[in-house]
C-alpha cells in the first residue's frame, strides 16, 4: 500500500468509507480518537495528545497545507504602512489573526473540525461560511435536538400534527456501526397501515459534489432495502406546512419519493 494510504501516526491502512479514503489518512482507530478528542491537531497541523502535548506524528507532514504567508515588513522611513504590512493570515471563519499561517484559529478549528463546510469566496479575498447553521443545535417543540433550521421545521410539523417520529434512527447496512445510515426522520407504522416511512431532507444542492455523491450512495441503499423514503429540500422550507401536507399524503410505499426534484 502506498504511503498516502497509511495512517501518519501508526502506519496502518487509512480508513476508507463509501469508496473514499480519509484526506487526513488516519486509520479507523485514530480517526475515532480524533473525533472523540483523545487526540487533537495543534497549530502546526500535527497530531498531539491533549493532556501531555506529545506529538504523535513528528516525522510526517502537517495534516493540511498552510497558505502562503508573507511576513510583514518593517515600516518604511516615512512611517507609513507598506503593502506587506497589510498581508496577514486570518481565520477564515471569524477573522482573527492565526498563528503559523493556519486557516482557522484554535477555537474555530474545534468548532468546525468534524463538519463539512460550504464557503462563498468573493473577489478572492472575502470568505463566508454558507452553512454555519448546518450541524448546529436546534431544539424542537417536542424536545428533540436537530442539526438545522429546516430539520426543526419538519420536526415541529410532525409534532404539531401528532405524527409519532424519531430523529436519525440508525439503519445498519453491515457489521460496522460506522457505516450505519441515519435518515433524518423515522415514522413508525405511518398512517396505521403497518409500514414504516422515513423522511430524508436533502439540505444541499447538486453543486456540492461530495454531498451529491453521498446522496446517490444513500438512495441506492434505500432502494436496495425497499424503504419508503419521502424526500424534502430547501425549496419546501419556503412553505413547510403546504409542502409536508402534500408529500406526506401523496406518496408511494417501498420506493424513493420526490428525489428527482432535489
Mean pLDDT over residues 236-253, rounded?
96
Read off the pTM. 0.53
Residue 69 has pLDDT above 50, yes or no: no
Instruction: In whole angstroms, give the CA distance from residue 91 to residue 248.
Output: 43
Q: How confident is the model at residue 48 (pLDDT cuts 50, 70, 90)?
A: confident
Of 57, 44, 45, the residue nearest 6 (C-alpha): 57
User: So where are the chain's domains?
Assistant: 1-61, 138-261
Using DSSP's 3-state secondary structure scheme, residue 197 falls into: strand
Report the topology of domain 138-261. Endonuclease; Chain A (3.40.960)
**C-alpha distance from residue 184 to each of 90, 170, 236, 252 (Å):** 35, 10, 15, 19
| pLDDT, tens digit (0-9, with 9 covering 90-100), for 134-186 | 555 788 999 998 988 899 999 999 999 999 999 999 999 999 888 899 999 99
Amino acid at each position: 500500500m502506498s504511503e498516502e494510504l497509511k495512517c501518519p501516526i501508526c502506519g496502518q491502512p487509512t480508513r476508507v468509507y463509501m469508496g473514499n479514503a480519509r484526506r487526513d489518512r488516519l486509520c479507523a482507530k485514530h480517526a475515532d480518537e480524533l473525533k472523540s478528542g483523545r487526540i487533537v491537531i495543534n497549530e502546526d497541523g500535527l497530531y498531539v495528545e491533549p493532556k501531555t502535548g506529545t506529538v504523535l506524528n513528528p516525522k510526517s507532514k502537517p495534516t493540511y497545507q498552510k497558505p502562503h504567508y508573507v511576513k510583514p515588513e518593517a515600516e518604511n522611513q516615512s512611517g507609513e504602512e507598506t503593502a506587506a504590512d497589510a498581508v496577514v493570515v486570518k481565520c477564515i471563519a471569524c477573522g482573527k489573526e492565526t498563528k503559523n499561517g493556519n486557516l482557522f484559529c484554535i477555537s474555530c478549528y474545534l468548532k468546525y473540525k468534524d463538519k463539512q463546510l460550504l464557503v462563498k469566496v468573493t473577489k478572492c479575498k472575502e470568505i463566508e461560511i454558507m452553512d454555519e447553521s448546518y450541524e448546529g443545535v436546534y431544539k424542537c417543540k417536542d424536545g428533540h435536538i436537530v442539526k438545522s433550521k429546516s430539520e426543526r421545521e419538519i420536526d415541529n410539523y410532525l409534532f404539531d400534527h401528532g405524527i409519532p417520529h424519531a430523529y436519525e434512527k440508525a439503519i445498519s447496512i453491515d457489521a460496522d456501526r460506522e457505516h450505519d445510515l441515519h435518515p433524518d426522520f423515522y415514522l413508525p407504522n405511518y398512517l396505521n397501515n403497518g409500514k414504516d416511512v422515513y423522511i430524508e431532507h436533502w439540505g444541499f444542492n447538486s453543486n456540492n459534489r461530495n454531498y451529491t455523491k453521498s446522496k446517490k450512495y444513500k438512495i441506492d441503499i434505500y432502494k436496495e432495502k425497499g424503504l419508503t423514503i419521502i424526500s424534502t429540500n430547501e425549496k419546501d422550507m419556503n412553505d413547510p406546512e403546504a409542502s409536508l401536507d402534500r408529500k406526506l399524503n401523496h406518496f408511494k410505499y417501498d420506493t424513493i419519493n420526490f428525489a428527482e426534484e432535489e
